[in-house]
Chain A
């Protein structure tokens, strides 16, 4: 059971190799965390965090969950959920960024990105919701992005996938009202992680640890939408209102600045 300070005793993470997920697990492990179920694409490549958690006395189970083949891996997820007992938090942390120009050329990689980021996140969250509804409590965390807030020339396919996650997450939160299950939609800006390695910083960039702390806090507060950092909330409230032409020029200039580093 989650305690009053929002500390979970059991968590399930899909995409446990993600830097943000590992950082969040590290925070939770300081509390009474007793069980962690870690879904990864390739269980042979056991996530480093698994060893850390085990060393801290937490019971860890690593299982295979390849988001690119989500539909064929759902039974495995269901089996894990069945055996897991109560689950306080389900964190869906997998995702791919892709390169916009490549995605426009290589349609199969565009399809793969949509499958991983959007389809797999949506079906996995539905599977978690179904299970958590029976237990009458639990928090599902999905990771959206500011990229999903207003499409930009240089990342709109990724943005489209995150817009889907965002809309789904907030809709699911509404659907689960009164069931005891909450959904937390996290909207990070630029996060320093494996996913963004080698890329130039965008404004308001944060570390994976900072993003993880924001997730932990949102879980404690059961806050449906969380911007990371928070300043992006008021900022996008304004950016959303800009005329399209102005927004495009702004996005273009930003992209050019980052390209020249």
Chain B
């Protein structure tokens, strides 16, 4: 068992805390590690892409599964992936064999374990739901050392507590995932500009009926008549007939570009009102008014930010946070109100993403629900805390919620209002972890029982 005392932060690089990091070798080590850290608690950590403190436990133990990265092919396009497998590895494995992951987040740098714990969604949520909807089973190491394979049929309550459960029900060891078949590794993409938020939302809703994937980038710096202007991207997997020439010889070729790294961390944040405005203006102008039938690679359609491996450092030493919330479809006026407040707040949002979500699942702490989700990146600055507290109230008032995997600043009293199945989650926790051995800084901060 290798163990190091290390400082850890989330992707937002906000408050670091120190913990003993164990790179798990044998599965049987889990109970010993948990017992040793019983006063502070332990939590599993993948690639550290949660924005806040979900994969931190100050003074306690962090379990990584970087040595648990096996992928086994099962019949009927299913695979069993160990928790430490990254989406980068998984996509690289399955695409050349004519399959794709059923759900992919905006980065390939997350592990299967982390993805299940956050019940991640992707650009196809309106059609395909979140990751949990494509899992046959999850193998879990319970805090007492018992290994369990749970599925919606076998211990449904534990299964639905585990997906989206932020790692608090056990150490996720592996999962059986149902893949989707693809004919080529390319995407057919349609891009359209919309001059304001209303037009953007209407175009998105319309396009979602015809396309598997959709996402919109929104300018929340521009105010007035330009408020919420944006660019909508719809996409589908290209069929073999869509591909011609050299690409048709190797339709499933998958060669992600090597990521580049920013060589040094800027001493001050580079994202401010002026740079954010310039960035948004540029992005809007460089996007085509309307373009159909463009072929794009999987990395450029799904994971454009992966081109730079450490883009999070541009926010400087204070770090940044991502505010992602969802409101039900009938509360689109709340979404517009929040967009208006963000645009006029003066807090710079360099990167804002809008997406329509389909119905949620039975996950007790899963984020998605049918409606609109908006994800906004903000540099941490004075006053951002109170500003977002006000937005939380609007979100709760509309029957929506904030995404735990992104959170780093919510008030604990918001949690039961946003996650009404919290008491059921608490019951599962009492059953599988009566001693409270699993704990994260996020769970402590938000008083998730």
Which residues of A approach B to under 8 Å, CB–CB? Answer: 1-7, 9, 30-32, 34, 86, 134-137, 178-180, 217, 220-222
Contact = CB atoms under 8 A, between A and B. Distances in A.
A1 B409 contact: no
Contacts of A32: 411-412
A4 B60 contact: no
Contacts, number: 81
A4 B380 contact: yes
B386 interface: yes
Contacts of B441: 1, 137
B319 A180 contact: no
Complex A-B, nearest 5 residue pairs according to Cβ-Cβ distance, in ascending order: A136-B59, A180-B18, A4-B408, A4-B14, A5-B385
A7 B385 contact: yes
Given A134-B59, A136-B17, 12 more contacts: A1-B53, A2-B15, A3-B14, A3-B409, A4-B380, A7-B385, A7-B409, A9-B445, A32-B411, A136-B40, A136-B59, A137-B16
| Interface residues of chain A: helix, strand, loop or mixed (majority) | loop
Contacts of B18: 136-137, 178-180
A205 to B, nearest CB: 23
Contacts of B14: 3-5
A236 B53 CA distance: 38
Given A3-B385, A136-B40, A179-B18, A221 B444 contact: no
Contacts of A137: 15-18, 58-59, 441
Contacts of B60: 136
Interface of B: 5-7, 12, 14-19, 40, 52-53, 57-60, 317-319, 321, 380, 382, 384-386, 408-412, 441, 444-445
Nearest to B320: A4
Contact of A1 (B40, B58, B318, B321): B58
15 contacts: A3-B385, A3-B409, A3-B410, A3-B445, A5-B321, A134-B59, A135-B40, A136-B40, A137-B441, A178-B7, A180-B59, A217-B382, A220-B382, A221-B318, A222-B15
Given A136-B40, A179-B18, A5 B444 contact: no
Contact of B380 (A1, A5, A136): A5
Contacts of B408: 3-4
A133 B384 CA distance: 29
B258 to A, nearest CB: 31
A136 B382 contact: no
Contacts of A6: 15, 380
B15 A86 contact: no
Contact of B321 (A4, A31, A34): A4
- Interface-central residue, B15, B40, B53, B321, by most chain A CB under 10 Å: B15
B444 A86 contact: yes
Nearest to B446: A1
Nearest to A9: B445
A31 B58 CA distance: 21
A4 B58 contact: no
